[in-house]
Amino acid sequence: MKKFWKKKRILIPAALIFLLVSVCFLYVNDYYHSEEAVQGYFKGGGMTEVTSIKEGIYVDGPGEDTAVIFYPGAKVEYTAYLPLLHKLAERGMDCFLVKMPCNLAFLGQNKAEKIIDSYEYKHWYLSGHSLGGAMAASYASKHLHKLDGLILLAAYPTQELKAEGFSVLSLYGSKDGVLNKEKLEAGRKYMPSDYTEICLEGGNHAWFGNYGEQKGDQQAEIGREDQQEQTVDAVVDMVKKRLGKK
């Protein structure tokens, strides 16, 4: 009987550990994949060049002094945001698309640090979608002196972003079925004086990326291309206005 209980004390914890590992494995491997058409963006084209780097993907456009570091949404393959960032790079802002551990931005919140330290740009902006935006906001709140601004896509902050000369742009779709609107409203108290909020009429949660429909989201009333173009226009306007103030 003693041997039985001894074996039981060993087997039960081992079984629980195995179960936990299995659940974690299934969770991190159940994610939204980039659509096949995204592969075409790796070739670059026009005035942009796409390069794989240790931190993810570098999209080098015609701009020289401004860069955007982008954190992808939770459980979304990071390459799904390449079309959006390709459009942004074409408009003069080089982009760094960060690959997160297990497709979860909270495991790589400080990824921007090495990029900022490794490249020489005069103006740095941090951005992210959904959980990626929340993690970008968290990093920004502790490094406001290193950044010119923050661009939130269907995301909200939970910490102070108030600093002189710091800008925040918040974008979300009117048909977003995933974003917590109450927390979005609560997050406004953390925003700096230079804050712009835009609701994209007819846009939804998933259309910021190219990974198909997302569970819980609403059907968009505008095309994905339209939503992404409106997003890029808003970001370009934000940067131009900020540069005009200097």
Instruction: Compute the CA torsion angle 11, 13, 17, 19 (nearest 10 deg).
Output: 70
Q: What is the pLDDT of residues 134-173, one digit of tens each?
A: 999 999 999 999 999 999 999 999 999 999 999 999 999 9
44: region left, alpha or beta (phi > 0 left; psi from -120 to 50 alpha): left
pTM beyond 0.85: the answer is yes
Q: What is the pLDDT of residues 40-92, one digit of tens each?
A: 999 877 789 999 999 999 999 999 999 999 999 999 999 999 999 999 999 99
Beta bridge partners of 194: 167
Are residues 127 and 151 in contact, defined by beta-carbon separation less than 8 angstroms? yes
DSSP for 108-167?
STTHHHHHHHHS--SEEEEEEETHHHHHHHHHHHH-GGG-SEEEEES---SS----TT-E
* Domain boundaries of the chain, sorted by first residue: 31-245
Mean pLDDT of 15-25: 46
Are residues 175 and 181 in contact, defined by beta-carbon separation less than 8 angstroms? no
Q: Looking at residue 241, what is its pLDDT?
A: 86
Are residues 182 and 199 in contact, defined by beta-carbon separation less than 8 angstroms? no
The angle subtended at Cα 128 by Cα 183 and Cα 120, nearest 5°, is: 140
- For 102, other C-beta atoms within 10 Å of its C-beta total 16
Are residues 193 and 160 in contact, defined by beta-carbon separation less than 8 angstroms? no
CA distances, 156 to each of 117, 132, 183, 192, 218 (Å): 26, 10, 7, 13, 19
Q: Looking at residue 7, what is its pLDDT?
A: 52
The fold of the 31-245 domain, in CATH, is: Rossmann fold (3.40.50)
> With pLDDT > 70 as the criterion, what percentage of the chain qualifies?
87
Beta bridge partners of 56: 53, 98
Q: Looking at residue 9, what is its pLDDT?
A: 55
Q: What is the pLDDT of residues 175-207, one digit of tens each?
A: 999 999 999 999 999 999 999 999 999 999 999
